[in-house]
Amino acid sequence: MNPDRAALLADHRLGVEEAQQYRAEGFLVRERAFDAAAISLLTAAVEAAAALALARTAGGDARSYVLDGKRFVDSGHVTVQFEPPPHDPAIKVIEPVCELHPALDALLDDPRLTAPIRDILGRDAIALWTNKLNLKRPGAGSGFGWHQDSPYWIHDCGHVDLLPNVMVVLDDASAANGCFKVIRGSHREGCLPGTDDGTQLGGFYTDPRRFDAARAVALEVPAGSLVFFDPHIVHGSGPNPSASPRRALIITYQPAGHPTLKSRRIRNIR
């Protein structure tokens, strides 16, 4: 490894208390890991990527479908989820997104993200699993119900316990604009059953009888912060009725040598 790169990784490795907190609570916050200038560049990149993704949904290979009143469009292996009416065609989620802009692809290798992930996984050789952009537009961003990531992935991955996430917070996040929330310690229960409410997507939302909502933590953090969280932790967010955006990139890693979720290509981390 390049000596300068090794030094950068060492600068961002987890401290003992941070590692203990992540194991015990299922999440960890590092505030202001990126300064305002870096966040400005990243937000410009995500908006360019969002514009490109929107244009692709009108392409000849795009496939549109509706689940529980929510519109999705697949263009190749990229899925765009739109906000439900009346805010459609505002985009809610793009997955994957980082391949749509070089600055976002470069972010995947940033040691501020990858050094802690290496410690969480207990190995230096890591790869990308998936990544997505959550766009909560002012006054239009809908919330996400309580859920885990692992039920989405368990049928596509044989190592679902080894898929840690990091959220790059692109705007100041508060309860007012629908900040990210977690159920502290819920990751220790593993993959929990979903709801059985007869809807198409209901099974992906965690049965509320299987976790303690009183242990919810609202992560009101400034732009540039990083939130590391376990694939089994129950999490969600509220809607954004405010005048402020609440955009976030979520990148999920895995041990090296395994293919990504959607493209099935291997993207090892440099």
According to CATH, the superfamily of the domain at 16-255 is: q2cbj1_9rhob like domain (2.60.120.620)
Residue 143 contacts residue 236 (beta carbons within 8 Å): yes
Query: What pLDDT is stored for residue 4 in this prediction?
Result: 63
Average pLDDT for 54-67: 95
Give per-residue pLDDT as tens, 163-220: 999 999 999 999 999 999 999 999 999 999 999 888 999 989 999 999 999 999 999 9
Task: Report d(CA 14, CA 21) in Å as an integer.
Answer: 10
Query: What pLDDT is stored for residue 84 in this prediction?
Result: 94
> Cβ–Cβ contacts within 10 Å for residue 127, how many?
17
Residue 251 contacts residue 128 (beta carbons within 8 Å): yes
Give per-residue pLDDT as tens, 74-105: 999 999 999 999 999 999 999 999 999 999 99
